[in-house]
A and B are shown apart, each in its own frame.
Chain A
Amino acid sequence: MAWFARGLRQGVDAMDDDSRAPVSPGLSPGRPLPTPAGQMDDASLCPTGALEVRAGVTVPDYARCVQCLRCVRAGAPIRWEQSYRWAVSRTGALGPAFRRSIHVRVLDAGDCGACLAEVRQLTSPVYSLHRFGIFVTPTPRNADVLMVVGPVTRAMRTAMRETYAAMPEPRRVIATGTCALTGGVFAKSVAVEGAVSRVIPVDVEIPGCPPPPLAILHGLHLLMGREGPGRPDPR
Chain B
Amino acid sequence: MPQTKLDELSDQQKVKFYQKGTFTVGNRLVDPDKRDVQASQDRSNAITSGHRACQGCGEALGARFALDAAMRAADSKVIAVNATGCLEVFSTPYPETSWQLPWMHSLFGNAPAVATGVQAAMRAKGREDVRAIAQGGDGGTTDIGFGCLSGMFERNDDVLYICYDNEAYMNTGVQRSSATPPTARTATTPAVGDAPGNVFGTGKNVPLIALAHNIPYVATASVSNLHDLEAKVQKAMSLRGARYLHIFVPCPLGWGSAAEDTIKVARLASECGLFPLWEGELGVVTGSDPIRKKVPVEDYLKTQKRFAHLFKPERDEERLAALQRMADHNIERFDLLREDKEPAI
Asked whether A and B interact, the reply is: no
